[in-house]
Amino acid sequence: MNKDSWETMLAAVQAFHDKHGFRENGGEEMTYRIALMAEELGEISSCVTKGKSREALAEEVADLLILLIGTGIAGEFDLKEAFWKKMDKLDQRGSKMIDGRIRVSEFNDMK
């Protein structure tokens, strides 16, 4: 088993969903998943704003990644494919500084 492969990660999250009956018990319902992702973002924010350890931050980001992979499963879409399609789009976009920070977006007023 190659723990670094996307397929292994996807299979692990699918097994977790299957083990706990997510599909049958509301765990794959999208509004519920969005609420869980918002909760994880709050925990990530807390790690940053409260100066928690890198390990604590990594754990919260991993929770969010697991939720994102699971959302691909629940939504029946290929997250890896969606990732690469989006990266291709992002690679075509320009960037500019906004309030002292770099921003990459589809700017309507590229000045």
Instruction: For residue 48, give Cα distances in angstroms to 22, 58, 82.
Output: 30, 11, 28
Query: What's the chain's average pLDDT?
Result: 94
Indicate if the pLDDT at residue 41 is higher than 80.
yes
Domain boundaries, the chain: 6-77, 80-111
Query: pLDDT confidence of 109, banded at 50, 70, 90?
Result: low
Q: What angle do CA 61, 66, 71 make, to 5 degrees?
A: 125
Mean pLDDT of 5-31: 97
Query: pLDDT confidence of 108, banded at 50, 70, 90?
Result: confident
| Model pLDDT, residue 70 | 98
Residues sharing a CB contact under 8 Å with residue 69, sequence separation 6 or more, in sequence order: 9, 10, 13, 79
CATH number of 6-77: 1.10.287
